[in-house]
Amino acid sequence: MKKIVLSLLSFILIFGFIGCSDKSTSKKEGEDKKVIKIGITPNPFREIVEEVKPLLKEKGYELDIVEFTDYITPNTALADGELDVNLYQHIPFLNKFNNDKHTDLTYTAKVLVAPIGAYSNKIKDLKELKENAEVVIPNDPTNEARALKLLASVGLIKIKDSDFVTILDIIENPKKLSIKELDAAQIARTLDQVDVGIINTNFALAAKLDPVKDAIYRESKDSPYSNVLAVRKEEKDKPYVKALSEVLNSKELKKFIEDKYKGVLIPSF
């Protein structure tokens, strides 16, 4: 009888521990993440995420910020689960990364546009461009496409409908513009030699150009090149992603971007 009782007690204790262990594991798996690991590249994204920290804390979340100096590793780290989210890239770049790397990343909140712009030391309006005028554009796939779409948006050229167009995708060029490709960081230095240079905001600022005052034409806030909060597709509906998306689209952050950057960066929400 003692053996039977001891066996029953052992069985009950073992079952109890297993039950507690399962319940504890289930609870852990069902818990919402409270510390969000976010990947960024340097400013303005450091300033943006620092600005929303207090708003996010009110919702019960903290940010663990990891800064990268390249444009590939933040997506690789996100896809591998080393990050929960990242904020540094625009939608066409994200789409191309997914296509090239066979990943399944998506985005929730659109946050801001850093408009690419047309600059010139010779004209005040793109419509002033004459036949055979020389236009310099970035030679990397993303920014070359942005530059060509900028020229197409004012009717100077017509291009194929694609995210990543090149000069080979120009269908019509009525003014016979001489469009040349150059490293994006070098274009600002050529403005005295060419009629127009299409320059990214960061390189314009580095060249002491004011994107608001000096650009003769810029992308609008409706640009498809809005920088977004990227997540793994299976995580996009999680409470912590929703909370972070909300503060990144808050009226407080919109005011901060408008007051701090004064049109150099444009909220896209």
Are 190 and 199 in contact by the 8 Å Cβ rule? The answer is no
Q: What percent of the chain has pLDDT over 70?
A: 88
Report CA Rg, the chain.
25
Please provide the distance, in angstroms rounded to a whole number, between the alpha carbons at the two ends of the chain: 74
Architecture label for domain 35-115+224-267: 3-Layer(aba) Sandwich (3.40)
Neighbours of 195 (CB within 10 A): 20
Query: Domain residue spans in the chain?
Result: 35-115+224-267, 117-218
CATH tag, 117-218? 3.40.190.10
Most confident of 16-20, 93-97, 235-239: 235-239
Query: What is the rounded average pLDDT of the residues 155-162?
Result: 96
Identical fold for domains 35-115+224-267 and 117-218, yes or no, is yes
Is residue 11 scored above 80 in pLDDT? no
Evaluate if residue 101 carries a pLDDT over 90: yes
E strand or H helix at 49:
helix 45-58
Confidence of residue 31 (pLDDT cuts 50, 70, 90): low
Q: Which of 73, 68, 50 is nearest to 256 (CA)?
A: 50
77, with CB counted inside 10 A (0-12, 13-18, 19+), is: middle
* Global confidence as pTM: 0.77
